[in-house]
Amino acid sequence: MLRLLTTDKKRTRMKISEQFLQRFNKNKTDFMRRFITMDETWIHHYTPESKQQSKQWTEAGCSAPKKTRLIPSAGKVMALVFRDAEGILFIDYLGRGKTITGEYCSNLVCKKKNIFHQDNAPVHKSVLAMGKLRDLHYELLEYTPSSPDLAPSDFFLFPKLKLFLAGQRFSSNQKAIAAVEGYFADLTKNHYRDGIMALEHCWNKYISLKGDYVEK
């Protein structure tokens, strides 16, 4: 959910976007080679179709059939996705009732790249997680509060995954995980690369909009 941005937040978002863009344009090849991002999302055993997906054609003069309002199922598993410009590095899954802790996040971080991007969730910013990043000499890109439009997983990767899963029903976490793994396996390298490259557009839009939200 997008929150109302204060003048200070807009200024901060604009300043950080300028820094990101400068870092990116300095050496795009090096940036793309070393960049890794991580985020998490819930995978439900059932995700309702979007309004666009569930539209039905009706004859002229006929009203559309009434539909029952559906909500995501209670059964779910959380997917923590680590990826770069070439694809998925690895995914870890947490079942319902389990929580992400700073220790858990720190144990997941592996030394594959050294430009790291994540949002500012408390567990990501915990002492343990941040200490692990420092120990591995990661260059951590700054992330501004209330900025889902700057997280490549939120505006590019996860929405497309949720569209793929919409309308499917899974009887267990294992079957939901298998569907997720199959979806990512079928994506081309260009898909992942395009998701990272799209950040350049967002940074430029941030600057032109003086820090206001970028439309998805």
Q: What is the mean pLDDT of residues 95-99?
A: 71
**Residue 117, domain member (yes or no):** yes
Mean pLDDT in the chain?
80
Domain that holds residue 35: 26-50+71-208
Residue 121 lies in a domain: yes
Residue pLDDT, tens place only, 100-139: 777 777 777 666 667 887 777 777 777 777 777 777 777 8
Q: What is the pLDDT of residue 70?
A: 59
Whether pTM exceeds 0.85? no
Cα 200 to Cα 193: distance, rounded to the nearest angstrom: 12
* Residue 163 falls inside a structural domain: yes
Please give the Cα distance from 176 to 71 (Å, whole number).
17
CB atoms within 10 A of CB 20: 21
CATH of the domain at 144: 3.30.420.10
Closest by CA position to 123, among listed 104, 95, 142:
104
Residue 57 CB-density burial (10 A; 0-12 exposed, 13-18 middle, 19+ buried): exposed
- Count Cβ atoms within 10 A of the Cβ of residue 82 and give its class: 0-12 exposed, 13-18 middle, 19 or more buried: buried
7 in any annotated domain: no
| 46 token code pair | 């059932």
Domain assignment present for 2: no
Counting the structural domains of the chain, the total is 1
So what's the pLDDT on residue 205? 86
99: helix, coil or strand?
coil
Q: What is the mean pLDDT of residues 178-200?
A: 91
Q: Is residue 8 part of a domain?
A: no
**Does residue 161 lie in a domain region?**
yes
In a domain, 131, yes or no: yes
pLDDT in tens, 65-92: 555 555 676 789 999 898 889 999 889 8
